[in-house]
Amino acid sequence: MTKNKKIRVMIVDDHQVVRKGFTMFLKAFEDFELVGEATNGEEAVRRSEELMPDVILMDMVMPKMTGDEAITVIRTNQPQTQVIALTSFSDDRQLVQKALKAGAIGYLFKDISIDDLADAIRTAHRGDPILAPEATRMLIQATRNPQKLNFNLSDREREVLTLLTEGLNNPQIGERLVISRSTVKFHVSSILGKLGVSNRAEAVAIAVEHKLV
């Protein structure tokens, strides 16, 4: 591959040691050019617009903006840029699904060998998908045994949600649970946030659909 045909790669990871490791890796191959780095999803979106890399190595778990959120924005604005999701979490099928749904062309784990990662970057640059065997296995298991959604509601939030499904308003919920109206308001707000909805009616619909109460 000639010099002007090098694959332009950007590294996105909130750990400096990881970024340095990938930098050293890229220098070992003549067909790769490191064009930039980012420490979180927000910075990745901004820098990718400036640098226009061919391939991005994207960490999935980062502050400010997660990997899948950044991938969604980047792939929407720059469909020519391919993104390989990289993570240390080898048993989280939701991360795999989020990455692929967001538009990642690959999903690999950080313990991948140097040669395999190099081949993955070349494969992604060609526009062909690349998945770690463990990620493929998790996707197959997901289709056979759909994972139950976990909204991480506390016991008290479940109690409040149950009363919401019964049609009670905040004062009535406070009276039933012997808590202040401000406390009820706090719990309702937390429930809406965890369920990803904007109002009580949607919260009740989610609760019924997923048998949360």
- What's the mean pLDDT when you consider all of the chain? 90
Range 155-209 classified under CATH 3.40.30.10: no
Which of the residue ranges 88-102, 157-171, 185-199 would you say has the lowest mean pLDDT?
88-102
Banded pLDDT at 1 (limits 50, 70, 90): very low
Banded pLDDT at 94 (limits 50, 70, 90): confident
Same fold, 3-144 and 155-209: no
Banded pLDDT at 4 (limits 50, 70, 90): low
The domain segmentation of the chain, as residue ranges, is 3-144, 155-209
State how far the alpha carbon of 49 is from the alpha carbons of 17, 33, 53, in Å. 25, 17, 9
pLDDT tops 70 at residue 26: yes
Mean pLDDT on 81-106: 88
| 3-144 CATH, one of 1.20.120.430, 3.10.520.10, 3.40.50.2300, 3.40.50.10610 | 3.40.50.2300
pLDDT tops 50 at residue 2: no
